[in-house]
Amino acid sequence: MGARTRRVAGLIVGVALTTVAPLWSHAAAFMPHRYQTDEGALTVHAGGDFVDPYFATKALITAEEAGLNVDGPARRWIAWLLPRQRPDGRFERYCRADGAWRSCADADADDALSALWMELLNRMTPHGETVTAWVESAQRADAHLNLLRNSKTGLYQVSLGEPFALFIDNVEIYGAFTRMAARHANAGEFIAAGRLGLRAWLLRQAIVRVFWKADEKRFSAAATPPPAAAFYPDVVAQVYPLLENMETPAGGPAQTFDRWFNAHGEAWLSFSEDHYPWGLVALAAYRVGAHSVARRWLARAAPLRNGPRWNLLEEAAYQGLVARFCTRGGADCREGAP
* Residue 294 region by backbone torsions, left for phi larger than 0, else alpha for psi between -120 and 50, else beta: alpha
Note down the domain range covering 286: 3-333
- 84 in Cβ contact with 146 (< 8 Å): no
pLDDT computed for residue 311 by the predictor: 97
| Distance from C-alpha of 237 to C-alpha of 116, rounded to nearest angstrom | 18
pLDDT computed for residue 160 by the predictor: 94
pLDDT computed for residue 228 by the predictor: 67
Instruction: Flag whether 77 is in a domain.
Output: yes
Before 32, cis peptide (omega within 30)? no
Helical residues (DSSP H) of 26-70, grouped into ranges? 53-65
Across 145-149, average pLDDT: 98
Q: Are strands 100-106 and 92-97 parallel, antiparallel or unpaired?
A: antiparallel
Contacts of the segment 79-82: beta carbons below 8 A, 24+ positions apart: 79/40, 80/39, 80/40, 80/41, 80/42, 81/41, 81/53, 81/56, 82/133, 82/134, 82/137
Decide: helix, strand or coil at residue 157. Answer: strand
pLDDT computed for residue 327 by the predictor: 59
pLDDT digits (tens, 9 = 90+) for 282-314: 999 999 999 999 999 999 999 999 999 999 999
Residue 11 has pLDDT above 60, yes or no: no
Instruction: Flag whether 338 is in a domain.
Output: no
Across 145-164, average pLDDT: 96
pLDDT computed for residue 134 by the predictor: 98
Across 180-195, average pLDDT: 95
Decide: helix, strand or coil at residue 36. Answer: strand
Instruction: Flag whether 318 is in a domain.
Output: yes
Residue 224 has pLDDT above 50, yes or no: yes
- 14 in Cβ contact with 186 (< 8 Å): no
DSSP 243-260: HTT---TT--HHHHHHHH
Residue 7 has pLDDT above 60, yes or no: no
Across 167-179, average pLDDT: 98
Across 314-338, average pLDDT: 70
Residue 107 has pLDDT above 50, yes or no: yes
- 238 in Cβ contact with 265 (< 8 Å): no
**Percent of the chain scored above 90 by pLDDT?**
82
Element (H, E) at 263: helix 253-270
Read off the CATH number of the domain in which 313 is found.
1.50.10.10
Residue 232 has pLDDT above 50, yes or no: yes
Instruction: Flag whether 324 is in a domain.
Output: yes
Instruction: Flag whether 188 is in a domain.
Output: yes
Instruction: Flag whether 153 is in a domain.
Output: yes
CA distances from residue 324 to 23, 169, 289, 318 in whole angstroms, order as listed: 11, 27, 12, 10
Looking at the structure of the chain, the number of domains it has is 1
- The b-or-e profile of 109-138 (16+ CB within 10 A means b, else e) is bbbbbbbbbbbbbbbbbeeeeeeeebeebb
Residue 237 has pLDDT above 50, yes or no: yes
pLDDT digits (tens, 9 = 90+) for 54-85: 999 999 999 999 999 999 999 999 999 999 99
pLDDT computed for residue 319 by the predictor: 97
Of the pLDDT bands very low, low, confident and very high (cuts 50, 70, 90), residue 148 is very high
Of the pLDDT bands very low, low, confident and very high (cuts 50, 70, 90), residue 25 is very low
pLDDT computed for residue 59 by the predictor: 98
DSSP 95: E
Decide: helix, strand or coil at residue 94. Answer: strand
pLDDT computed for residue 129 by the predictor: 85
Residue 236 has pLDDT above 90, yes or no: yes
| Distance from C-alpha of 326 to C-alpha of 67, rounded to nearest angstrom | 12
Residue 20 has pLDDT above 50, yes or no: no
Instruction: Flag whether 208 is in a domain.
Output: yes
For the chain, the average pLDDT equals 90
